[in-house]
Each structure stands twice: as structure tokens, then as C-alpha cells.
Chain A
Amino acid sequence: MSTTPQSTSTPRKILVLGATSGIAEATCRIWASQGASLFLVARNAEKLAAVAADLKTRGASYVDTAVADLDDTDQHPALLAHAVNSLTGMDIAYLAHGVLGDQLEAERDFNTAAQILHTNFMAPISLLTWLANFCVQRHAGTLAVLSSVAGERGRKSNYVYGSSKAGLSAFLDGLRNRIDREGVTVLTIKPGPTKTAMTAGMPRSEKFADVDSVAESIVSAIDKRRDILYVPFQWQPIMFIIRNIPERIFKKLNL
């Protein structure tokens, strides 16, 4: 019902998994204002409806939603088939679901650690397996996946989350190596700490990156078909240094 300034080209068809996450929502607002078609997946129906209404109002040319717990990998093939059917195709799949988890609890209890790994690593791999094969068949598409700078080196403060993201980043490297030649782009997004609901109340969270500028960088990296995005970009040299601190010294640091 809203009138929107739109580009004249066909709207892009974008599947968003974890659409109620702060970074995903901010990214979708940019796509919505460009008139994109969106299929949104999230676990909480009420939050999903609020995000969908926002994106429709901002000018998305089509918005459809599905409430799903992405931890349930058995459901993935049917969910993804339904999504691409609803969108009548797919140009971009944006994987943004994930949990920070409770590091201290995960140190005491393997089940907590396993749950974090399942949500952040196993579930995306299940989704990406289906999505990669879908794109390869059509020789087109972009798979944009939120990993994290926390995956660059394990730190005592969040190494369970970090290792889930490290595994995900390595998986994406390999996937890119396999399907880039098929015309499919794989973008690994490595945000630093960003002001979202996930990080609300963390110490120093006021100094975290602004979610809207993170989203702008992501949209631009997808448009430029880049492989890896550190956002904000300053994290690239910082992580280069952190990766190269000798373990003898690193293990004594309080990070």
C-alpha cells in the first residue's frame, strides 16, 4: 500500500534466515527501500511479524515469512523449497541466525557447548548444502553468511562461540573454492562487536559498531561480489595481528 521510490530493474529475490537478528534487520531495511522481494525466516512469530510489517512499509515489493526453528535441520529442505517457490527464484541467500551462548555455562556443560555449535555451525551447514546445490544448478546466486571475527582465534572469553564461527568460516572457504567456478558467490561476513540485541548490556557496548553502517557495508559487499568482508574494515588489520601473536604470548593474555 505504500508508494516507494524504486529502481526500475526487476526486484532482487532475497531469502533471509534469522531475519529478526539486529544485523539482518538493518540489512533488510536497505534492501526493502530498494524494492527487493524478501522471504523472512525466524523463530518468534510476533517479532517476525513486526519486522515484516516494517519492511513492507519501507517499500519491499514482496514480503513472505515462515516461522521456523532453524536448529531443526530435518525441516530445512522443505522450508528452503517453500521459500524459493514463494520468491519464484532466489538471487541472494542471507544467513544471519546464530547465538552468542553462555561461555561459562558451556565450560561446565558439554550440552550447552554442543547446542551453540549446533545452532552456529551444523544448522548453517545444512542450509548451505541445499542452497549451494540449488545455486550451482542455476549457475547463479550469492550466499552471504554472517560469521564473526571471533572465529579468527580462540579466546578464553568466548571460544565456544568463536570455534563455531571458525568452523563456519573454514566451511565457507571450502565451499567458495568449490562453487565460485560455477558462477556462485560465497561471501563470508566477519563483523566485529556490533550494537544489537545480542550484545545489549555487554560492557563497553556503547563503543560497538553502529548496526546501520555495518548493514550498508554488507549490502555493498554483496553488490560487489566480494569474498570476505571485515566490518568495520579496521578489524582486518587488527585480526591479522591477533592471529599472528605467538601462542606462547597469546595464552598469557586476557582477551
Chain B
Amino acid sequence: MQSPFESWGRYPTYGAKLLPLHWQSDFPALTANLHNGALPVGMGRSYGDVCLLKDGNLLVTTAMNRLIDFNPETGLLTAEAGVSLAQILDFAVPRGFFLPVSPGTKYVTLGGAIANDIHGKNHHSAGTFGRHITQFELVRSDGSHMLCSPTENPDFYAATIGGLGLTGVITWATLRLKPIVSRKIDYEGIQFHGIDEFLDLTNQAHDIEYTVSWVDVTSKGGNFARGVFMQGDHSAKKDDLKPSPKPKLIFPFEAPGFALNSLSVSLFNTAFFHKQIHKRAVALQDYEPFFYPLDKVLRWNRMYGKRGLLQFQYVIPWEHAKEGTVAILREVANSGLASFLAVLKAFGDVPSPGMMSFPKPGITLALDFPIKPDKSFPLFQRLADMTLEFGGRLYPAKDAAMTAHQFQSFYPQWEQFARFRDPMLTSSFWERVTPNS
């Protein structure tokens, strides 16, 4: 039976056979007589086609979500790979623990977070998610089981972190949680005008655990690259550690294509900028709105209508970070194509253990565009080529458009990585960016 499986960007959509993995022993037993390849997937929150396999078999891991062990002395949590970060938080926060690294949504699985080696607002201090994975089990389609850690099978450990689910099925993993005493974040928001001010704020915030910026990409002239710099630390004041309430709001319908146009997005961005009336705003904020402002609206991707959205996230190393960011922001502003959410952050120099990890020291910018076939893709190609010229690279988890040439230039280690790929596992992304492999 073929079912459409949507990635979070809702583009592209491909039919695939869904095979839920309920137990660690289901793979590879369940896939013994399969053709057309398979791909382990979690909650489908990657944007493009890294979590899709056209006409293939998707091994959905979300029912494989048991906890295996937790040690409150060390904060080490061992769990099956299909457990979501939301489920981990529900377990950990009441016990005084928190995720070591968190992306902008808690609706991703542990296995998916490893496979994309996700990063968060604390990249400058904590590095990527993979750094906090002390060990995991990798099961290959030949039935072999491998314990992977920095010391055991270190080559597979490195290939699997950021390995896009292609090296095998991660059945379980051990994650080092960090202690907290409060749900609250000591938050400060600061307005900035231009990349220089952003960089000054970044430097001043060196000792602050979490930093991220929202940037208005619709603004030109004197307002060019204005934004709000957001920083925060876990509150040190002891507080109630109750579990989170369940989300109720679901974005209820497909927005018509015209709802997000350059005028409405420009108005939104202006309103967001001025929502913070003062140059500085201080607050004690719950961790949920600080980390997951959009999770409250469960299906917010529908806001972009049926055609979906295109994500673009680059990192440009420090050498060209400023000129590259200014050039790309100018290109976006001049294109007239709206980006509703533009997120700017400086990556730190904590190295990732992953062979194919996306983050490296420099500036990262994430943009999203509603898909307009004649305009979005040409702009995307221009931006990708500019990223390449500035020595940067794009994030596979948020991509649906980079070319094979671009990918192979961004990740020259891809051929070395390909040697660790499980022969049964592949993705539409992998087929697209390595057609010559």
C-alpha cells in the first residue's frame, strides 16, 4: 500500500510504503523481502527530501519509543530511537533535567536528531546534538548489530552522526541530559540594525548559553538587516518543574496561496520588530515559547498552502561570513520574495563528531520561502551558488533544491561517507545529490 508521506516543507511529496517499526527486532526482519530500498524516518520534520524515498519503503520509527535506562546521578538517558524530544522533555523536566541541545521544534525523534546532527541556540557553547550522544546501536540490513561510540566502531559513530539515516537503523541511543532547577529562561531581547551590530551582540554574549536572532529580510535602505537578538540562560532560581501542558491549537486549514505575499510578510516583520518597543526587553520566560515558539501551532506548515515551502539554511565560515551574509540578505531583499522566518546565528568552534555534520564556525542563516515555481527555484540556485563562492554549505535537513554539483562541493567528504552507507538504505535526497554514485 502506497501512502503519501509529507516532509515538513510539503515539497516534494512522493508515494511510499510505510512500515512501522514497533520493536528493535523488527529491522531487518520486516524488510527481508523488500525491493526498492528503505529509509528510516521519524516524525517527518525535515523540510525537503532527506526523509522521503520515492516508491520505496519508509521505516517509521515513532512507535519504537521506549525508555531503557536513566541514571539521575549522571543524567545519562538511554532510549529507543523513535522517542521524540517532546517525550524526553516530558520525562526529564519534572526530574530536573533538560536536553543538552534542542532544535526549534521538539517534535523530532532521537534517531532523527542524530541522523541530522541537529544544532540549537547553544551551538557556540555546546556544539551539535551528536556531541552529547555517548553511544548508540546501529543495525544493518545484513542483520549485524553494532555498538557505536567514540571508542567502539568510531568510524560508524562518525558516519552515523549527521549520516541522514543511510548507515543503518539506529535502534537506541544514550544521551547526556543536563541538570536544571527551573522551567524558566532568563531572557533578553535586543534590537539591532545591521550585521555589525549583530556581531557586536554575538561577541558580548559569549558567556550566555543560548543566543539566536530574528532578522527582517524584507527591509531595505536604512533598515537593512535589522532584527532582534535573543539571548537566555536557564534560570538559576529554583522553581516548579511540572510537565508541559498538551498543545491544543492546530493550524486548521490550508492557507490560500495569496495569503503570504511580500506585503503581508513585510507588515508582519515590521510589526514583529516594533512589538519590542524598547531597545532592550528582559523577561523570565518558560522554556516552551523560548525554544519552540511555533510548536504551539501544531501544523503551522499549512500556512504556506498546498504548494509548501522551501527552506534555505547556510553556514559561511568566519573568513567570508559578514560579506556573504550581507550579499545574500541583499539578494533576498531585492528578489521581493518574502521570507516569513529568517533566523540568524553564529556557530561556535566546538567540533562535531559527525563526518557529514552541517555546522562549522561562522554565521548561519535560515530562510523559508513559499514555493512559487518560476521565482523560488532560480533565487534558490543563485543563493546556493553564492554560498559556494563564500566557502559555505547548505543544510541537507532543510533542502529540497540543491544540485548534485552543489552538494558534492559543499561536502567533498561524501565519497568517503558513501562507503558506510547500508546497501539497502537510500533517500530521495541521496538519489538526487549523488546520481553518479
B292 interface contact, C-beta 8 A: no
Q: Is the CB of A58 within 8 A of B67?
A: yes
**A53-B68 in contact given A46-B23, A46-B25 (Cβ < 8 Å):** yes
B144 interface contact, C-beta 8 A: no
A47 interface contact, C-beta 8 A: yes
Q: Is the CB of B70 within 8 A of A2?
A: yes
CB-nearest residue of chain A to B91: A58
CB within 8 Å of A: which B382-425 residues: none
CB within 8 Å of B: which A55-79 residues: 57-58
Give bound CA distance, A1 to B78, whole Å. 13
Q: How large is the interface on A (under 10, 10 to 19, 20 to 34, 35 or more residues)?
A: 10 to 19
Residues from chain A with Cβ under 8 Å of B3 in the complex: 206
Q: Is the CB of A197 within 8 A of B22?
A: yes
CB-nearest residue of chain A to B3: A206
Q: Is the CB of A57 within 8 A of B67?
A: yes
Min CB distance, B227 to chain A, in Å? 39
Give bound CA distance, A206 to B3, whole Å. 10
Contact of B69 among A51, A57, A200, A201 (CB under 8 A): A57
CB-nearest residue of chain B to A3: B72
Q: Is the CB of A2 within 8 A of B63?
A: no
Number of interface residues of B (CB under 8 A): 21
B296 interface contact, C-beta 8 A: no
CB-nearest residue of chain B to A5: B94
Contact of A200 among B20, B25, B66, B71 (CB under 8 A): B20
Min CB distance, A59 to chain B, in Å? 9
Give bound CA distance, A8 to B71, whole Å. 22
Q: Is the CB of A54 within 8 A of B18?
A: no
A246 interface contact, C-beta 8 A: no
Q: Is the CB of A201 within 8 A of B18?
A: yes
A237 interface contact, C-beta 8 A: no
A253 interface contact, C-beta 8 A: no
Q: Is the CB of A57 within 8 A of B70?
A: yes
B95 interface contact, C-beta 8 A: yes
Give bound CA distance, A2 to B77, whole Å. 10
Contact of A54 among B19, B66, B71 (CB under 8 A): B66
Residues from chain B with Cβ under 8 Å of A54 in the complex: 66-68
Q: Is the CB of B71 within 8 A of A47?
A: no
Give bound CA distance, A57 to B25, whole Å. 21
Give bound CA distance, A2 to B68, whole Å. 11
Q: Is the CB of A2 within 8 A of B18?
A: no
Min CB distance, B426 to chain A, in Å? 22
Kindly supply a per-residue 1/0 record for chain A positions 182-204, scoring 1 wherever the CB is within 8 Å of any chain B CB and 0 otherwise.
Answer: 00000000000000010011010
A50 interface contact, C-beta 8 A: yes
Give bound CA distance, A223 to B95, whole Å. 26
B24 interface contact, C-beta 8 A: yes
Give bound CA distance, A175 to B189, whole Å. 64
B1 interface contact, C-beta 8 A: yes
Q: Is the CB of B71 within 8 A of A1?
A: yes
CB-nearest residue of chain B to A211: B63
**A197-B20 in contact given A3-B95, A5-B94, A203-B1 (Cβ < 8 Å):** yes
Give bound CA distance, A46 to B25, whole Å. 9
Q: Is the CB of B72 within 8 A of A47?
A: no
Give bound CA distance, A14 to B1, whole Å. 39
Q: Is the CB of A53 within 8 A of B69?
A: yes
**A50-B91 in contact given A1-B71, A57-B67, A57-B69 (Cβ < 8 Å):** no
Min CB distance, A24 to chain B, in Å? 13
CB-nearest residue of chain A to B63: A197
Q: Is the CB of A2 within 8 A of B25?
A: no
Give bound CA distance, A36 to B24, whole Å. 26
Residues from chain B with Cβ under 8 Å of A1 in the complex: 69-72
Kindly supply a per-residue 1/0 record for chain A positions 204-244, scoring 1 wherever the CB is within 8 Å of any chain B CB and 0 otherwise.
Answer: 00100000000000000000000000000000000000000
Q: Is the CB of A2 within 8 A of B72?
A: yes
Residues from chain B with Cβ under 8 Å of A2 in the complex: 70-72, 95
Residues from chain B with Cβ under 8 Å of A3 in the complex: 72, 95
Residues from chain A with Cβ under 8 Å of B25 in the complex: 46-47
Give bound CA distance, A121 to B145, whole Å. 40
Give bound CA distance, A51 to B22, whole Å. 11
CB within 8 Å of A: which B1-19 residues: 1, 3, 18-19
Min CB distance, B180 to chain A, in Å? 14
Q: Is the CB of B66 within 8 A of A53?
A: yes
- A–B pairs, 29, beta carbons within 8 Å: A1-B69, A1-B70, A2-B70, A2-B71, A2-B72, A2-B95, A22-B22, A46-B23, A46-B24, A46-B25, A50-B23, A50-B66, A50-B80, A53-B69, A54-B67, A54-B68, A57-B67, A57-B68, A57-B69, A57-B70, A197-B20, A197-B63, A200-B20, A200-B22, A201-B1, A201-B18, A201-B19, A201-B20, A206-B3
Apart from A22-B63, A47-B25, A50-B24, what 12 extra A-B contacts exist at CB < 8 Å?
A: A1-B69, A1-B71, A2-B72, A5-B95, A46-B25, A47-B23, A50-B23, A53-B66, A57-B69, A57-B70, A58-B67, A200-B20
